[in-house]
Amino acid sequence: MAIYTCKDCSAQFEHDDLPRRGAYCFKCHLSGIRLGFTYGKEDFHGPTIGERARKQVADAKSAGINAEPIGSRWI
């Protein structure tokens, strides 16, 4: 077990050998990770999932269709 010093915060941490992330502690390693995504961006901008579901039910009701969202009844 070797003791390494983090390059960012100078904290010491133990590891068997040099981690793949280099001489960075896990906290500094996590703060440097940028979580990006390609699909699902519309879920974070605009109406929420619940608002969209209520709008679909209202649109169906105005068209004469008796619709209810999936998951409204727990079986």
Note the pTM of the prediction, 2 decimals. 0.40
CA distances from 63 to 3, 28, 58 (A): 68, 55, 9
Domain that holds residue 58: 2-62
Per-residue model confidence (pLDDT) at position 34: 67
Gap between the Cα atoms of 49 and 29, Å rounded: 33
pLDDT in tens, the chain (75 residues): 788 888 889 888 888 888 888 888 888 888 877 666 666 666 677 787 788 888 999 999 999 999 887 775 555
Q: Is residue 17 part of a domain?
A: yes
Structural domain total, the chain: 1
Q: Is residue 71 part of a domain?
A: no
**3-state per-residue secondary structure call for 26-40:** HHHHHHCCCCCCCCC
Per-residue model confidence (pLDDT) at position 36: 66
